[in-house]
C-alpha cells in the first residue's frame, strides 16, 4: 500500500488551476457543504473519496487499461480526478491502482498537477481495491497518514462526468441514512434465463433501477461491512450498497443521478466521452481584434457570423484577455486585417503559455488574416503567412492547436456590389471553417493555412 505525497491530508487545493485564479469555484464549492451543514443543523462532515482504478478493462478490448486510455491526449482517469478536485470539501482522494501501473499513475498526477491524491495498491477484484482504499483511511492501519473521514465517497475512476451536486446529494443522504447511491432508469428490460437459455421470466422494468456511482457511506458503515465480507462477496460482488445492507444492516438512500454518470466500459463509451468533452470545451470563443474599429469593421462582421454558429462569442482588444483565459475559454480567433504578420497571434500564444490553460485541454487558436489575395499576388505575402507551420509546431508542444485562415477582403473597388458579395461569401465560409476547427479540435490540421 503506497500513499502518495503528504499533501493529501493538507488543506483542500482545487487541483489543476490556472495561474492567478483564486479558487473561485473552490470557494463556492466549500460553501455548498458548509451551507448544507448549517441548514441541517449539523456541522459539515469530513469527506474523502475512494476511486477503484485497478481494472484491466477487458471489455474495452485494447491493451491499455481503460482508465489510462487517452481522451484528447489526456488519460480518462485524469478527467475523473479533475471532477473530484473541483469539489473543495473532498479532503482526500484515494486511488487504487495495480503495482504495475503505480508509476504511470504518479506521472499522470504530476503532469496534470492533480492534488489531494494518495495511491494504494489495487486488489484482484473491484471490491478488494475499494477495501484497500478504505484501509488507507482507517486509523487502525500502520503508517496511516490520512485522517479518517466521517463520510467516504466511492466512485469508479472510469466515470469522468460526476458533478458536485450529485456528490453533495449522496454525501448528505449518507450522513442521514448511513449509505446512499446514485441510480438511473433501466434502458433495457432485465430478464432471467432458464438453464437451457430460454426465457424463464422478465422483471417489470419500471420497478427497477440501475445502480450507478457515486455512492457515499458513513465511513464506519462501509468499513465494518468490508471487514466482515465473505471471500465470495469480495471475489464476485459488484455492489457496495449490498454490502452495507448485508453486513451493516443499512438500507442505502437512493438518489436519482444524471445521464452523464455512466461508466466507460466499451470502446463506444470512450468515443461518447470524447464527444461530450469536445462539446463542453467548444462553447466559448474569444475573438481578439482591434475593437476601436467601427461597426462596419470586418472583425465585427466575423463576430456577428460566429454568433450564428457558436453559443458564447466574446470580443476583446486584449486588455481583458488574461481574465478571459482565467475563465477557461479554450478557443481563440485572432483577427489580423490586411497583414500577414503574426505579432497579435504570437502575443496571444505567449499569454496562453504563461497561463497553463492548455495543460488540461487542447486550446484552439485560429490566426485569421483578412487579405485581398486576389488583386495582391499572394507570393508577396506567402512567405510570412507560411510561418504558421513553424509557429504551429512549437504551439503543439504546449497542447495549442494553431491554424491559419485567409478571408478574402477586396481592396480594389471595380464593382462594389460584387466585391461586397464576395466578402460576405468569404466571411460565411470562414465562419464555417472556424466553427469546424473549434468543434473537431483535430490536431491533424495544425499549421495548415485554410482559405475561405
Ligand atoms: N480489480 C479491479 C477491477 C476493477 N477496478 C475498477 O473498478 C471500476 C469499475 O470496474 P469495471 O468497469 O469492471 O473495470 P474493469 O474491471 O477494468 O473492466 P472489465 O470488467 O471490462 O475488465 C474501474 O474503475 C476499474 O478500474 C479495480 O479498481 N480493481
Ligand atoms: O466492475 P463492473 O463494471 O463489473 O461493475 C461495477 C458496477 O456494478 C458498479 O459500478 C455499479 O453498478 C454501482 O455499484
For residues 253 and 327, membership in a common domain is answered with: no
User: What pLDDT does 182 receive?
Assistant: 98
User: What pLDDT does 20 receive?
Assistant: 43
For residues 243 and 177, membership in a common domain is answered with: yes
More confident residue, 431 or 36: 431
Q: What is the mean pLDDT of residues 327-340?
A: 90
User: What pLDDT does 11 receive?
Assistant: 34
In the listed set 239, 258, 276, which residue is the last one of a domain according to the structure? 276
Which residue's CA is the closest to the ligand 2 atom numbered 6? Answer: 238
pLDDT tier at 31, thresholds 50, 70, 90: low
Cβ(64) to ligand 1 under 6 A? no
Closest ligand 1 atom to residue 96 Cα is 28
Within a domain: residue 11? yes
**What is the tally of structural domains in the chain?**
2
For residues 36 and 107, membership in a common domain is answered with: yes
Closest ligand 1 atom to residue 59 Cα is 21
Cβ(126) to ligand 2 under 6 A? yes
Within a domain: residue 195? no
Within a domain: residue 266? yes
- Structure confidence by residue, pLDDT tens digits, 246-264: 999 999 999 999 999 999 9
CA of 421 to the centre of ligand 1 (A): 58
* 12 has pLDDT over 50: no
pTM: 0.91
- Structure confidence by residue, pLDDT tens digits, 47-84: 999 999 999 999 999 999 999 999 999 999 999 999 99
User: What pLDDT does 38 receive?
Assistant: 53
Q: What is the mean pLDDT of residues 224-236?
A: 98
- Structure confidence by residue, pLDDT tens digits, 203-220: 999 999 999 999 999 999
User: What pLDDT does 341 receive?
Assistant: 81
Which structural domain, as residue segments, surrounds residue 365?
Answer: 281-451
Q: What is the mean pLDDT of residues 342-348?
A: 90
Please enumerate in sequence order all residues whose Cβ is within 8 A of that of 93, keeping only pairs 6 or more positions apart, or say none: 8, 48, 49, 51, 81, 84, 85, 116, 117, 118
For residues 212 and 248, membership in a common domain is answered with: yes
* 236 has pLDDT over 60: yes
Q: Cα separation of 81 and 339, whole Å? A: 44
Q: Cα separation of 428 and 301, whole Å? A: 10
Q: What is the mean pLDDT of residues 292-312?
A: 82
Within a domain: residue 366? yes
- Domain CATH number, residue 404: 3.40.50.720
Cβ(125) to ligand 2 under 6 A? no
- Structure confidence by residue, pLDDT tens digits, 187-201: 999 999 999 999 999
Within a domain: residue 404? yes
Q: What is the mean pLDDT of residues 143-151?
A: 86
* Mean pLDDT computed over every residue of the chain: 89
In the listed set 242, 276, 310, which residue is the last one of a domain according to the structure? 276
For residues 157 and 299, membership in a common domain is answered with: no
For residues 183 and 60, membership in a common domain is answered with: yes
Q: Quote the radius of gyration of the chain (alpha carbons, Å).
A: 26
Within a domain: residue 194? no
Of the residues 56, 125, 156, 190, which should be mutated to test ligand 2's pocket, given the most ligand atoms within 8 Å of the CB?
156
Length of the chain: 452
For residues 132 and 47, membership in a common domain is answered with: yes
For residues 299 and 414, membership in a common domain is answered with: yes
For residues 124 and 18, membership in a common domain is answered with: yes
User: What pLDDT does 3 receive?
Assistant: 46
For residues 150 and 31, membership in a common domain is answered with: yes
Exposed, middle or buried: residue 377 (CB in 10 Å: 0-12, 13-18, 19+)? exposed
More confident residue, 309 or 178: 178
In the listed set 232, 257, 276, which residue is the last one of a domain according to the structure? 276
User: What pLDDT does 413 receive?
Assistant: 73
For residues 56 and 72, membership in a common domain is answered with: yes
* 296 has pLDDT over 70: no
pLDDT tier at 41, thresholds 50, 70, 90: low
For residues 336 and 439, membership in a common domain is answered with: yes
Within a domain: residue 1? no
The shares of helix, strand and coil residues in the chain, as percent rounded to the nearest 5, are 45, 20, 35
The vertex-166 CA angle with 172 and 179, nearest 5°, equals 45
User: What pLDDT does 78 receive?
Assistant: 98
User: What pLDDT does 450 receive?
Assistant: 92
Within a domain: residue 322? yes
More confident residue, 353 or 199: 199
pLDDT tier at 428, thresholds 50, 70, 90: very high
Share of the chain above pLDDT 90, in %: 69
CA of 264 to the centre of ligand 1 (A): 10
Amino acid at each position: 500500500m503506497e500513499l502518495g505525497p503528504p499533501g493529501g491530508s493538507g488543506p483542500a487545493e482545487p487541483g489543476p488551476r490556472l495561474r492567478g485564479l483564486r479558487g473561485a469555484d473552490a470557494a463556492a464549492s466549500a460553501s455548498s457543504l458548509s451551507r448544507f451543514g448549517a441548514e441541517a443543523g449539523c456541522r459539515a462532515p469530513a469527506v474523502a473519496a475512494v476511486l477503484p482504478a485497478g481494472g484491466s478493462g477487458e471489455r474495452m478490448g485494447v491493451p491499455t487499461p481503460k482508465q489510462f486510455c487517452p481522451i484528447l491526449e489526456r488519460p480518462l482517469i485524469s478527467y475523473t480526478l479533475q471532477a473530484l478536485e473541483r469539489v473543495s470539501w473532498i479532503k482526500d482522494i484515494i486511488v487504487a491502482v495495480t503495482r504495475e501501473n503505480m508509476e504511470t499513475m504518479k506521472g499522470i498526477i504530476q503532469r496534470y498537477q492533480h492534488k489531494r491524491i494518495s495511491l494504494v495498491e489495487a486488489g484482484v477484484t473491484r471490491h478488494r481495491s475499494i477495501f484497500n482504499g478504505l484501509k488507507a483511511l482507517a486509523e487502525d492501519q500502520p503508517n496511516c497518514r490520512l485522517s479518517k473521514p466521517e463520510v467516504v465517497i466511492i466512485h469508479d475512476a472510469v466515470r469522468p462526468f460526476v458533478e458536485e451536486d450529485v456528490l453533495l446529494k449522496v454525501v448528505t443522504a449518507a450522513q442521514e441514512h448511513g449509505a446512499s447511491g446514485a441510480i438511473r432508469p433501466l434502458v433495457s428490460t432485465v430478464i432471467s434465463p432458464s438453464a437451457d437459455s430460454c426465457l424463464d421470466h422478465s422483471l417489470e422494468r419500471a420497478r427497477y433501477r440501475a445502480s450507478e456511482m457515486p455512492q457515499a457511506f458513513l465511513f464506519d458503515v462501509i468499513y465494518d461491512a468490508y471487514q466482515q465480507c465473505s471471500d465470495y462477496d469480495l471475489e464476485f460482488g459488484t455492489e457496495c450498497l449490498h454490502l452495507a445492507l448485508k453486513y451493516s444492516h443499512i438500507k442505502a438512500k437512493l438518489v436519482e443521478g444524471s445521464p452523464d454518470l455512466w461508466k466507460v466500459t466499451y470502446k463506444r463509451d470512450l468515443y461518447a466521452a470524447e464527444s461530450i468533452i469536445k462539446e463542453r470545451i467548444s462553447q466559448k470563443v474569444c475573438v481578439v481584434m482591434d475593437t476601436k474599429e467601427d461597426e462596419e469593421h470586418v472583425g465585427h462582421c466575423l463576430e456577428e457570423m460566429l454568433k450564428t454558429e457558436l453559443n458564447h462569442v466574446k470580443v476583446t482588444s486584449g486588455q481583458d484577455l488574461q481574465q478571459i483565459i482565467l475563465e477557461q475559454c479554450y478557443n481563440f480567433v485572432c483577427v489580423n486585417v490586411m497583414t500577414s504578420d503574426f505579432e497579435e497571434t504570437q502575443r496571444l500564444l505567449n499569454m496562453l503559455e504563461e497561463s497553463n490553460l492548455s495543460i488540461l485541454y487542447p486550446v484552439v487558436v485560429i490566426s485569421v488574416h483578412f487579405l485581398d489575395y486576389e488583386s495582391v499576388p499572394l507570393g508577396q505575402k506567402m512567405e510570412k503567412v507560411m510561418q504558421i507551420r513553424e509557429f504551429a509546431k512549437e504551439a503543439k508542444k504546449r497542447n495549442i492547436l494553431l491554424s491559419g485562415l485567409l478571408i478574402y477582403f477586396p481592396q480594389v473597388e471595380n464593382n462594389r456590389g460584387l466585391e461586397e458579395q464576395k466578402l460576405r461569401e468569404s466571411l460565411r465560409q470562414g465562419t464555417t471553417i472556424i466553427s469546424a476547427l473549434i468543434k473537431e479540435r483535430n490536431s491533424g490540421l495544425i499549421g495548415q493555412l485554410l482559405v475561405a
